[in-house]
Amino acid sequence: MQKAPSLLRTRDLAFLIAGLMDSIFGALFLLAWFNLLPVNLVALGIPRWLAGVLGAVLSLSGVVVVTYQLTKLKEPE
């Protein structure tokens, strides 16, 4: 059973947007971890090491998802 092309495009677009948001949030955590953003992470209750790990994981996973979505082979119609 094949899925409708519009459902496939919607799913691909959702994964692309989710990957981009992961990359953006990860980048913000990393910028705060490197003290390039004036955010006091300790006052927010986030340990600095956790912000670094979370930023790295989110950035890396977001880049992987976006790269996969933009380079995967399209089925012939």
Contact criterion met (CB below 8 Å) for 65 and 15: yes
pLDDT in tens, 17-70: 999 999 999 999 999 999 999 988 889 898 999 999 999 999 999 999 999 999
Residue 2 belongs to some domain of the structure: no
The structure's pTM equals 0.81
Residue 32 belongs to some domain of the structure: yes
Residue 8 belongs to some domain of the structure: no
| Count of domains forming the chain | 1
Domain extent at residue 39 = 22-71
Residue 14 belongs to some domain of the structure: no
Q: What distance in Å separates the CA atoms of residue 15 and residue 12, rounded to the nearest whole number? A: 5
- Nearest one of 12, 52, 8, 2 to 32, comparing CA atoms: 52
